[in-house]
Homo-oligomer: A and B are copies of this chain.
């Protein structure tokens, strides 16, 4: 039985992507060679990289607006280091919004590079909301935020208006909703939620912001070097880039970000409505800041957990356990998840209500 996969990441991708990626491992583009054994500088793979980079900008509405898309390695955690290296001036400072585990991890790395200001934090409330009243110092080199907090199930539904370049970790909600991406100086996202398998990180950067820190940057950490080498400074993660490219194609062929947002809204509404209606369950995030990607909830009476766990496992659901820092349950409903799978979960929640 094919599972209903609510895993927070790595996570569900379209079935056609799995099939095409699997085939490419056996033979790529009728070349007589596996995707895994071809040179990254071969004509066919260079075309994949170029088309994937162009597709990212097209889907985000950034074509011709001075942005570059890169597929780098190291995960979002590597960008926590690349960001201050590339954007924090030697004498400058950076402003961070602390909305969760990953936001705090990004901040921790930046602190070693210079002055960092935490404009606001929801840590004392176990990150169950997004702070909204804060000031970004006008002299900050950049403002860093995390658009969606995978662990705590909160999401920024608006972004601050500021002249300071906004650097945003969109790992867990990129390509899930319409955003004016041109308001950002730099966006990054580990592939393994909405874009592809683990192994590559998307970086979208406004080129004019680079080269201004007066700081020596190790080559592999320097966005300019990656741009100069067209995202082939060194051997890229070929399979992860190719599979991300397949997912981006699927996204485009299925109506792009606009169509995804409609689907995602419907899925989130369906599940949140059941959490709010069903007296057994309660959401963990403040209503106005609820994430449409990672839906976190608890059973009011933890003694029902065991029975609930049996029911959803029997229904073919996997990956529903909450992160240890929140407990309870987390349903990640990324782009590739069909609403039918969310309905299966809702049905199980109703079944539990009838049984207890």
- Interface of A toward B, CB cutoff 8 Å: 1-3, 5, 7-13, 18-19, 21-23, 25-26, 31-34, 36-40, 73-78, 80-81, 105, 108-109, 112, 190, 192, 196-200, 216, 218-221, 233-240, 243, 316, 318-319
A110 to chain B, nearest CB (A): 10
B235 touches A36 (CB 8 A): no
Using Cβ atoms and an 8 Å threshold, which residues of chain B touch A75?
73, 220, 234-235
Copies assembled? 2
A154 to chain B, nearest CB (A): 21
A341 to chain B, nearest CB (A): 12
A322 to chain B, nearest CB (A): 13
B235 touches A40 (CB 8 A): no
Can you sample 9 A-B contacts with CB below 8 Å?
A2-B32, A3-B32, A5-B33, A9-B39, A10-B38, A10-B238, A18-B26, A39-B319, A199-B240
Using Cβ atoms and an 8 Å threshold, which residues of chain B touch A38?
7, 10
A231 to chain B, nearest CB (A): 13
The complex places the Cα of A80 from the Cα of B220 at a distance, in Å, of 9
B32 touches A10 (CB 8 A): no
Using Cβ atoms and an 8 Å threshold, which residues of chain B touch A233?
77
A228 to chain B, nearest CB (A): 14
Which secondary structure characterizes the binding site on chain A?
Answer: loop
> What is the chain B residue whose CB lies nearest that of A31?
B3
A218 touches B22 (CB 8 A): no
A285 to chain B, nearest CB (A): 21
The complex places the Cα of A80 from the Cα of B222 at a distance, in Å, of 14
Using Cβ atoms and an 8 Å threshold, which residues of chain B touch A78?
73-74, 220
A21 touches B5 (CB 8 A): no
A36 touches B243 (CB 8 A): yes
Using Cβ atoms and an 8 Å threshold, which residues of chain B touch A39?
7-10, 319
A36 touches B7 (CB 8 A): no
Using Cβ atoms and an 8 Å threshold, which residues of chain B touch A26?
18-19, 22
